[in-house]
Amino acid sequence: MAIEVAMSETSDGFRVDNYVLVRLLKPLHEGNREYRKTELQMSARVNYDTFLRYLVVMQKDKLVHVRQMEDGTELISITELGANAYNDLSRWNHGG
């Protein structure tokens, strides 16, 4: 199921790349903590506009949860579904 989600295309024609999705989910999965948007974007080495598009997809597919702090800071964490997707996709990306 996770691979089908990752290979989907949004209504505006944005095609999700599995490799980029793994790069975004990896620090969340391995770090076991919340990340600020810019911190996660820089960790995955994608430009900010691309990151925001992936964030929308990951939220829609319930792979991540975004929590807003009182000061407006948004913190991103991986969900159980996101962790399972990361495991499936990382195996798929490595031919396993």
What domain range is 46 assigned to? 2-93
Q: What is the pLDDT of residue 8?
A: 61
* pLDDT tens track for 18-42: 999 999 999 999 998 999 999 999 9
pLDDT tops 90 at residue 90: no
CB-based contact 26:80 (threshold 8 Å): no
Q: How many structural domains comprise the chain?
A: 1
CATH number for the domain including 34?
1.10.10.10
Q: Which of 47, 10, 1, 2 has the alpha carbon at shortest distance from 29?
A: 2
- HSE, CB side, 13 Å, CA atoms: give it for residue 32: 0
Cα(52)–Cα(72) distance, integer angstroms:
16
Task: Assign 66 to helix, strand or coil.
Answer: strand
Residue 91 to residue 37: CA distance in whole angstroms = 26
Strand residue runs (E) in the chain: 35-36, 64-68, 74-78
